[in-house]
Amino acid sequence: MYTVDIHSNKETKEIAKSELDIAISFARKDKDKLLKVIVGYGSKSNKHIIKTYILEYLLELKDKKQIKDYIEGENLDIFNPKYMNFKYGFRIKKKKKRTKNPGVIYIIL
């Protein structure tokens, strides 16, 4: 699993998007099927600016068939409807599922 942190240096939305595109390219080059993106969850400002922007962008990528799917870390729960509809849960380790990190998004390439 390839991991990228796109919120640690107070990036703008555009820089975060660019870093995500680069991470997707690197993960594909390494033939990874799963990309873990750390987006933060707005703990300091209680705003999810980068996370919200990235989720909108991921929806576009999914619609264009450039990624297979994605799921937010807080939805990694077997009783969560989003997780129930997520076909790729087997790709995420059980340990990661127990933490339910709201600042992480898992992307299936």
Instruction: Report d(CA 102, CA 16) in Å as an integer.
Output: 17
Please count the residues of the chain: 109
Give how far the C-alpha of residue 30 lies from the chain's centroid of Cα atoms, to the nearest Å: 18
What number is the average pLDDT over the span 34-62? Answer: 86
Distances in whole angstroms, Cα of residue 34 to Cα of each of 5, 28, 43, 70, 80: 14, 9, 26, 9, 20
pTM comes to 0.89
pLDDT at 72 exceeding the cut of 70: yes
Answer yes or no: CATH 3.30.450 is held by domain 2-108.
Answer: no
Q: Where are the alpha helices (DSSP H) in 1-109?
A: 13-29, 49-63, 81-84, 94-99
Domain residue ranges of the chain, discontinuous segments joined by +:
2-108
The rounded radius of gyration (Å) of the Cα atoms in the chain is 13
pLDDT tens digits along 9-22: 777 889 999 999 99
Please indicate whether residue 47 or residue 24 has the higher confidence score (pLDDT).
24
Joined together, the tokens standing for residue 92 give: 């995420």
User: How large is the greatest C-alpha to C-alpha distance in the chain, in angstroms?
Assistant: 36
- On average, the pLDDT of the chain sits at 89
pLDDT at 24 exceeding the cut of 90: yes
